[in-house]
Amino acid sequence: RRAKVLAARGGGDPRQLAAVLASPPVSEDPEGERRRLLAEAYLRLDPPELSKARDELAAYLAVPSRLPAPALARVRLRLGEVHVALNEGEAARSRLTEIGPAADPDVTAGAKLLLARLAAAEDKWGEAVKLFEAAQATPGLPRDQLDTVRYLT
């Protein structure tokens, strides 16, 4: 439990946290938050273990969750980011398009930006421009994040 608390707060040594979280006690619910926290620990390693983080996030999303829709959308965005880092464009696109209207504005804009970058990398400039514009037009996006979106486009 201590490892989960440390991981949730972004503290502790990620290597030690990953080792503890990777082998949970027999009595622990296997479908809880452990997989998501383990993925975050893998991403904090230097260098990050992207494939392990991808596998844990995918397993976490594969089972029903108690998280509200906006929080699940944030996990989908994180998995999309990992897929992009691993040069898995199709998998990233699939996860990012699962992010629906219940997502927070920063998550929606982040997904659109990643999708735009994927489209640009494939020389689909018309699609990329539409996605960049959609990210800028995301309703409810805080001003500081809107400035970031504008800078990136």
Length of the chain: 153
77-86 contacts: CB < 8 A, separation 24 or more?
77/103, 77/107, 77/110, 77/111, 77/114, 78/39, 79/54, 80/111, 80/114, 81/114, 82/39, 82/43, 82/50, 82/53, 82/54, 82/57, 83/54, 84/114, 84/117, 84/118, 85/50, 86/50, 86/51, 86/54
Residue 82 pLDDT greater than 60, yes or no: yes
- Indicate yes or no: pTM above 0.95: no
Q: Summarize pLDDT for 15-60 with one digit per residue, the tens.
A: 777 777 777 666 666 667 888 888 988 998 999 999 999 999 999 9
The pLDDT tens digits for 96-137 are 999 988 999 999 999 999 999 999 999 999 999 999 899 888
Please state the rounded mean pLDDT for residues 140-148: 79
pLDDT of residue 104: 94
Least confident interval from 21-30, 59-68, 83-92: 21-30
For residues 3-23, average pLDDT: 63
pLDDT score, position 28: 65
Kindly tell me if the per-residue pLDDT of 72 is higher than 60: yes
Residue 110 CA, distance from chain mean position: 10
**Could you tell me which residues come within 8 angstroms of residue 135 by beta carbon, excluding any fewer than 6 positions away?**
108, 109, 110, 112, 113, 116, 149, 153
Distances (CA, A) of 13 to 3, 68, 124: 10, 29, 42
pLDDT at 51: 97
Report how far apart, in Å, the C-alpha atoms of 44 and of each of 33, 38, 84 are.
17, 10, 17
pLDDT for 5: 43
Strand ranges (E), 5-126: none
Give the contacts of 129 (CB within 8 A, at least 6 positions apart).
116
The pLDDT score that the predictor gives to residue 77 is 97
